[in-house]
Structure 1
Amino acid sequence: MSDSSRDTVEGAGWTDAERGTYGRLMPGRVEKLSWLNPRTLWAARNGVAASWFGDPTGQTRSRWVAQRAAAGAPADKVIRRTEADRFSFMVIGDTGEGGESQYAVVPGFLKASQGTSFAVLASDVIYPVGCTDDYGRKFFQPYRDYPAPIYAIPGNHDWYEDLGGFMRVFCDDAPPLPPAPRHRPPGRAWWRALLWHRPRPADEQRLAEARKLRSAPGQQAVQPGPYWAIDAGPVRIVGIDTGLLGTLDAEQGAWLREVSQGPRPKILVTGSPLYVDGEHHPCAIEGGGTVDDIVRDPAHHYVAAIGGDIHNYQRYPVDVDGRTVQYVVSGGGGAFMHATHTIARVSVAGVTESDFRCYPLRGDSLAFYSALYGRRLRLRRFFTLTEAEGMAVIAERLGMPPTRAPGGPVRVTRRVRLVASLLGAGRRPDRRARLRLPVRKIYTRLFSPGSVTYSPPFFKSFLRLDVTPEEVRLRCFAATGNRAQEVDPPVEDEVVIPLTAAV
């Protein structure tokens, strides 16, 4: 097995290595997603409209679910697969940007997924707004050679066109919903309806051609709606739809409580992670309670909760009344990389820094962002940190040894410390915090188009879960964009989750 980023600089993808073959998989012309484009911003306005004037996704979701039920979808929304007691499946989150960072994941994904029964896409299948016409180059083409079914849960971006494209592709070509009832002015609902971005008509010929790319019988998957459960071998996998604003409607909440009953060990897949960036986000359910209340209930026997939305990998082994639940962030499947170097020294729910795992490593994340700012602001000599400097200053700020041993002595100078502070490393409060530059979603919107994020290392990731009656072996694999990691994807994190203790 090849070195990981915890072992060597080469394993992290920093060296001038041979670039991977992923470019051969890409369409001839790739349009780079730009959040500076006013048309893109205007098309993606529904998240803002929902936060200002009320979130209608619960009602829309209920209409989709009712439509699927009328078409014969199972009332309990459970997909029953005939897996043996031992099987494997993949999880990959936040995939659909359609550029180099998505396609760079594909060769390693195909390599590591050999022998798996199915895959699950966890959140944001299609950027920027879930358009049906984008599924060809952002879903069907990249995964055309994965021979097994692919199930999915939507993210907030898939909801920007009322989930129409998602339902067509994953839910048996569900027809468009009839128009919603009109609202009387001048209430909040009326203003929301006035501003709301409506789904655009699909190019039917384009969609038909795209479907041919994954048309083999063994690739077909039909799910009962945007949320579902899969019974496979000894486990139940529960996928929930957290909509535009990261919450559950009352109807889905009632279903989740019902489907979580029973002694079968369960794994949750959600569009909004419950632990992320050293913080707890339990995910509210309309009418009371939270998703994490359900996960923590010992009667429900959850062993893991995997969430997308944040574009990196994180793992928090949380002790819940004497049993360990693995809370995982897995959003590194293809979209722009969200920083890990901004995560402070971890201390949440009894999880300490020694228990916590992330990819990319914080030092690599800091070096990555320093190079981006150096290029975008034309201040490369000032901003750009080497990977060794990034590792050293993170270790200093968090008060811990470097995760990867440096190749030689490293000086942490005043410039290195200032750059780390400006880029929010470790979020240590100090007098320069007011000068902190954006490195998360704001940066994505402002600087990602045309930057060096379109060349290696990408620091992307995906999961493979191997299930037996006794345990689940969860591994996080890396994709850097370099050939070495395509041929032999490195394991960045691994944990064995016992199932016998869950029953």
Structure 2
Amino acid sequence: MPDSSRDTAEGAGWGATELGEYKRLMPHRAEKISWLSPKTLWAARNGVLASWFGDPTGHTRSRWVAQRAAAGAPADKVIRRDDPERFSFLVIGDTGEGDDSQYAAVPGFLKVGQDTRFAVLASDVIYPVGSADDYGTKFFRPYQDYQAPIYAIPGNHDWYEDLGAFMRVFCDDAPPLAPEPAPRPPSRAWLRWLLWHRPRRDDGQRLAEDRESRSNPVQQAVQPGPYWAIDAGPIRLIGLDTGLLGTIDAEQGAWLREVSKDPRPKILITGQPLYVDGEHHPCAIEGGGTVDEIVRDPAHRYVAAIGGDIHNYQRYPVQVDGRTVQYVVSGGGGAFMHATHTIPRVDVADVTEKEFRCYPLRGDSLAFYSRLYGRRLGMRRFFTLTEAQASAVIAERLDIRPGRAPASDARVTWRMRRVAGLLGAGRRPDRAKRFRLPVRKIYTQLFSPSSDTYSPPFFKSFLRLDVTPETVRLRCYAATGNRAQEADPPVEDEVLISLV
């Protein structure tokens, strides 16, 4: 078993290491998305408009579903496969940046997934706005050597152009929706329509050529729509489309309740997680109820709920009526890394630090961001913490054991405490809030997306799930961009889930 970040700093990708071979997979010129660019922010405005003037996602989704039904998609939206009782599949989330951070995860994904039956992309297949022109370098090229079908759940970025490109790629080349008449002015709906970002008319001219990268018959998959269920071996997977704002419409909610009645054990895969950063987000259903109420119902037999959107790995084993449901965040497949060191000491749904798992470790996250702020502010000598120093100060602030054995020189100093406080490391509920740089909220939402790095360690991750009639073995694999972790991807977390 190779060293992971829980074993050594080298296992986390720190130190003098050999660069992986992922660079040879990349196009000659890879796009580097700047989320501080006015052009990018303006193109990605639909999420803000939906929150201001009302969210049209549910209505648009219903039109897509109706179109697919008219084209012959199954009414129950269930994909029935011929998988054996023992099989494996992959889950990878938030992949589509098309730069080093995405491609660095590909060699390990291919190696670990050699014998898997299919893969699921959980959220944000394409950044920044889900354009069809981006699928060549951000989907078809990186996964051209994965010799199995890939299913997908859209994320909010895939919805920024009303899901048109996503439907073309994953849903049998679905034609564009017919335009609807403009709302009557003046109204909130009219203002939204007036400002709404729409795809270019010539978007996707190269799509047929791009498809050739994944044209092998064994790679093909057709989805009944943006949400679906897959009957695979002894389990049912349910993929849920949470749209622009992390909620689902009444029609999808009614479908979820119906497909959840199937007697098989179930795993939910959603665009946004139900537990994340030490908080519960049950996901509201239009008209009443929540997704998590359905997951928690013992009659529905859910054993896990996996969500993307947040770009790291987290796991919360929640006790529900005498059984354990594994709530997982799996969004580390290729975009910038969301900090884990800002997650407060975990105490939610009776899950404490003892049971909680995350990747990257909080100390590695703090070390990564200390280097980032040191460069951006021109204060490297003050801000930069070694991985050992960062781990030590995190352990002190949260009163937890270090993620790996502490180094002998990891004595906590005033400077280390000050840097950790400024960068939002953890929370101490017994002390008043002090000034800290805008890491947890503003930085995560605005500045983190522009902080993607182009050299290791990247702290990317993906999941492999091995299914038998009795159990599901879930493992989180790391991808750092270094050769050592490419050749033998380390396991950062593992749990055996009972299906009995």
TM-score range, shorter chain: over 0.9
Match of 1:123 in 2: 123
Structure 1 runs of 4+ aligned residues shifted over 2 Å read 201-205, 427-449
TM-align CA RMSD = 1.3
Determine if the alignment matches structure 1 residue 109 to structure 2 residue 118.
no
Match of 2:252 in 1: 252
- Counterpart code for 1:182: A
Contact 1:472 1:499 in 2 (8 A): yes
1:4-44 Cα offsets, whole Å, 9 max, x none, are: 00001110000110000000000000120001211111110
Shift of 1:401: 1.9
1:144-194 Cα offsets, whole Å, 9 max, x none, are: 000000000000000000001100000000000011232111111011111
**In the superposition, relative to structure 1, how do residues 104 and 206 fare at CA in structure 2: closer, same or farther (>3 Å)?**
same
- Counterpart code for 2:288: G
Shift of 1:444: 6.5
Contact 1:457 1:482 in 2 (8 A): yes
Match of 2:335 in 1: 335
Contact 1:339 1:440 in 2 (8 A): no
- Counterpart code for 1:422: L
Determine if the alignment matches structure 1 residue 346 to structure 2 residue 362.
no
Contact 1:132 1:202 in 2 (8 A): no
Instruction: Summarize the alignment of residues 65-84 of structure 1 with structure 2, pairs less than 5 Å apart.
Output: 65-84=65-84
**More moved, 13-22 vs 399-408:** 399-408
Shift of 1:98: 0.6
1:259-311 Cα offsets, whole Å, 9 max, x none, are: 00032000000011000000000000000000000000011000000000000
**More moved, 203-212 vs 355-364:** 203-212
- Counterpart code for 1:438: V
What is the distance in 1 between the residues matched to 2:88 and 2:58?
33
Instruction: Summarize the alignment of residues 22-421 of structure 1 with structure 2, pairs less than 5 Å apart.
Output: 22-421=22-421
Contact 2:133 2:205 in 1 (8 A): no
What is the distance in 2 between the residues matched to 1:443 and 1:266?
32
Match of 2:488 in 1: 488
Contact 2:338 2:444 in 1 (8 A): no
1:371-398 Cα offsets, whole Å, 9 max, x none, are: 0000111110011000001100000011
What is the distance in 2 between the residues matched to 1:359 and 1:393?
18
1:412-437 Cα offsets, whole Å, 9 max, x none, are: 11110011001110033655633333
Shift of 1:241: 0.2
Contact 1:133 1:202 in 2 (8 A): no
Contact 2:336 2:448 in 1 (8 A): no
Shift of 1:441: 6.4
3-state SS of the aligned residue for 2:439?
A: coil
- Counterpart code for 1:146: Y
What is the distance in 2 between the residues matched to 1:437 and 1:258?
43
What is the distance in 2 between the residues matched to 1:152 and 1:447?
25
What is the distance in 1 between the residues matched to 2:115 and 2:490?
18
Determine if the alignment matches structure 1 residue 442 to structure 2 residue 443.
yes
**In the superposition, relative to structure 1, how do residues 140 and 253 fare at CA in structure 2: closer, same or farther (>3 Å)?**
same
3-state SS of the aligned residue for 2:453?
A: helix
What is the distance in 2 between the residues matched to 1:453 and 1:230?
36
What is the distance in 1 between the residues matched to 2:136 and 2:445?
24
3-state SS of the aligned residue for 1:262?
A: coil
What is the distance in 2 between the residues matched to 1:444 and 1:383?
22
Gaps of 5+ in 2: none
**More moved, 439-448 vs 87-96:** 439-448
Gaps of 5+ in 1: none
What is the distance in 1 between the residues matched to 2:449 and 2:46?
22
What is the distance in 2 between the residues matched to 1:293 and 1:71?
33
Contact 2:129 2:158 in 1 (8 A): yes
Determine if the alignment matches structure 1 residue 428 to structure 2 residue 428.
yes
Contact 2:132 2:204 in 1 (8 A): no
Contact 2:463 2:474 in 1 (8 A): yes
What is the distance in 1 between the residues matched to 2:108 and 2:402?
27
3-state SS of the aligned residue for 1:426?
A: coil
- Counterpart code for 1:249: D
**In the superposition, relative to structure 1, how do residues 280 and 452 fare at CA in structure 2: closer, same or farther (>3 Å)?**
closer
Contact 1:393 1:417 in 2 (8 A): yes
What is the distance in 1 between the residues matched to 2:262 and 2:213?
39
Shift of 1:409: 2.9
